[in-house]
Amino acid sequence: MNMSKTQEFSHFIIKHQLQRRIRIIVPSLFRDKERATILQIVLLKRAAIEEVSCVWQINSLTIYFDPEQLPKENLFKLLETVLANFSKKPHASISKFSAHHKHPDGPKQDVVFGIGGMSCASCALFLEMVLSRNLNNQHVSINYISETGNVSGYLTKEEIFKIVHDSGYQAYSIDTLAERKLLLKFSHNHLLSTKKRLLIITLLDVPVLLASLFFKTSKRMRLIQALFSFPVVFLGGGGEIFKKSWIQAKQGTLNMDTLVAIGAGSAYMVSIPALFNVRKHAYFEAATAIIGFVQVGRYLEELAKSKMVHDVEELVNMQPQNATLLEGRIESIISIDKIAIDNVLLIRPGERIPVDGIVLSGLSSVDESMVTGANAPCIKEKGHKLFDGSINGSGVLRMQATAIGKDTVLAGLVHMIDQTQSSKLQIQKTVDIISSHLTPAIMFLSVLTFGGWVIRGEAVAHAFANAISVLLISCPCALGLATPAATSVSSGQAAKRKIYIRNGNALEQMAVIDTIIFDKTGTLTEGHAKVVGYLNISDLQDDYLLQLAASVEFNSEHLLGKAVVEYVRSLDLPLFQATKFHSIPDQGVRAEVNGHGIMLGNESWLQQQKIDMSVVQDTAANWAKQGNNLIYLVVDNKLAALLSLTDQIRKGARQLMIDLHKQGIETLMLTGDTKASAQVVADLAGIESVTANASPARKIQFIRDLQTRGRVVAMVGDGINDAPALAAANVSLVVGNATGIAIETADYILVDSDISKVAEVLDLSKQTLTVVQQNLFWAFAYNAIAIPVAMTGKLSPMISSAAMALSSVSVIANSLRLNKK
């Protein structure tokens, strides 16, 4: 498969393209099945468009066309015209939605960016609320732990950044790894500044606390308290809290900063009369303690956050800072961000590959395990691909840059993790709604507490202290941290195990999976098929038939097709030019070669084409019983040959099935291969049920039938030929490297092709969900117990602020336990 460089179009996005096929994303489908069907009908009216395959759940369209009748450039113009009219006449269910958008005809885009200045989980919730108020944004998610945001909609990056800046925060581009490193540097500097601020506050707090303990009736000491506590409460850490609470108040929202600002500010202000009357109670020490304990909590949170993003930081740091540019015979050291497409670079022994590219000259072994999952270093020579972040061995390579910045595979992996961490579990969406109402409710309870104690006849000072305690002991932030803290740690842990999570919501779904479906070829088997049998029943020579077969399969992405090409090349036979190539997923391929109409495919597809295969029936049955894959070769509508291919079952497949069965999970095989060959592999792996000869449509229907019966289904495939089935499943897992189409089709990518890691994904998902539930239980229980206790007057404002700070830290500490699992 040839990945295309991103091209700019108004109404669609090209994901990949071949000579006779393209796959595009059409935002205006709005994941609507009826709109997708209408679009298929419209496109198929053009004779040059042979087939249109649509996965409407992900707005994906695959178009098979004849480039001789319809050159690709003309196809793009046609798509622009059709989709422009298509977008202007939306389905009734979305017409109201589109009408509210400034750019209803423009492309929808996902913007992932870094955020600076967030001090607690409430900040993330506040930013989400502000960004969501703009109707051009369809989806907004902000992650406090990773300090990233993900906005999906019609606003440009600049417009989003302006909203963030106007809300009192900083926004940073993190499209490239160099920019991502800069964000990590900002985060590190923020940790240091938080530590410095805490030390200053502590130094100022000490004299205020000593004066309150030993010089309660001294006017001079109270003046010293007022002077020392003022910078703590209204400048430095306290000043930032007041600034943010004021911005939020202007937006009509209240959060944790509001509670702290009211608590500390009112404690200071009501203490001013005590400067002139020593009989009045002063709360200067309470005001400084409130800010001090909040800063302690936030420093501990920053410290824990740095540990949570450590695994992602390691991935980012795989890209070197500089590279050696070759211009003729002149070498120069340049920064990574100065590299341009087609630049020639020199890679010395032991250096990391700076960008994606191809080898121009040289021979060396390269460790690319974090990207492709290859356990052993790969030999690289002229024409081979190189991936950003890989480590060169002992040889010297000259390479040409083919992808830079955000377009490299490594940048794509980091971007994927960012998206995972910024996505929300379904349970967190409910929690966010509760959190948004918690702060006003606490303020009401604080006022109620003050009034209740005054009515009871207690001193105003005592009633005030109890009211402040209620404000301070509550902790909406602990609720907001419950999910992102756990998902951030688990996604980092997954990356460390060479498991990449593309969809954060899959963590929640995977934890409740009860059925796992496996594809056969390239999933349960190694994906290194070899031709082991060949039967020629035609009048054509063996070599010529094999040349015809390989010439067609050369254009195929299927593992078996690649095996045929490899076999023919091993015989030193040249290939011919194939025209009118067309691939039918999971069925076969067809093309014209040297004036012959050629078809290669499985039995069920060729039966549909009315091909007589009775003459090879016995041979096919014998080969199938051995577990071999069969490819039927048809020349000019007559069966010409039969090829038999074998592939080894993956190590760990049988143990995986044993582990899954122990957990009560049903395992099934769903394949387009014959029943006999599929059953052999299923028996070796220990799979309970086999459905063979399944077309792509049959696979989708099979999965939907299971879901209709209440089953929660995971699909494990190779991400190439089973994209529709993967999209139909509740959770999709791709076994293979993290390049190409796998990134677009999977919820999970197991880059080292170790199928036993399906069990690890399951365990990690369950552990993550358990930690989330524990966090939520603690956060709700803490507020449910602490607030009533504070209302009874049992807690001072200082103790309340300390408890509030520690409640958030406890949620993060519990989430960090996932690193040890």
**Could you list the active site residues?**
519
Bridging pattern class, strands 515-518 and 666-670 = parallel
CA 327 to each of CA 155, 197, 332: distance values in angstroms, whole numbers, following the listed order: 40, 49, 8
Return the structure tokens found at 72.
Answer: 């690709």
- SS3 category, 158: helix
| Look-up of token digits 């390989």 | 550
Closest listed residue to residue 638, CA positions, set 548, 561, 537, 544: 537
The strand ranges marked E within 519-677 are 530-536, 578-584, 588-593, 596-601, 629-635, 638-646, 666-670
Beta bridge partners of 735: 750
| Look-up of token digits 């993956």 | 650
Return the structure tokens found at 248.
Answer: 């939020």
The helix (H) or strand (E) run that includes residue 360 is strand 356-362
Cβ atoms of 626 and 519 closer than 8 Å: no
Q: Within 497-626, where are the H helices? A: 505-510, 542-553, 559-570, 603-608, 617-625
Cβ atoms of 256 and 471 closer than 8 Å: no
Cβ atoms of 669 and 682 closer than 8 Å: yes
CB atoms within 10 A of CB 617: 11
| Look-up of token digits 């899959």 | 506
Cβ atoms of 344 and 319 closer than 8 Å: no
Q: Which residues contact 694 (CB under 8 A, 6 or more apart)?
A: 586, 670, 671, 672, 702
C-alpha 481/C-alpha 293 separation (Å) is: 18
3-state helix, strand, coil in the chain (%, to 5): 50, 20, 30
Residue length of the chain: 821
C-alpha 294/C-alpha 477 separation (Å) is: 12
Buried b (16+ CB within 10 A) or exposed e, 229-264: bbbbbbebbbebbbebbebbeeeebbbbbbbbbbbb
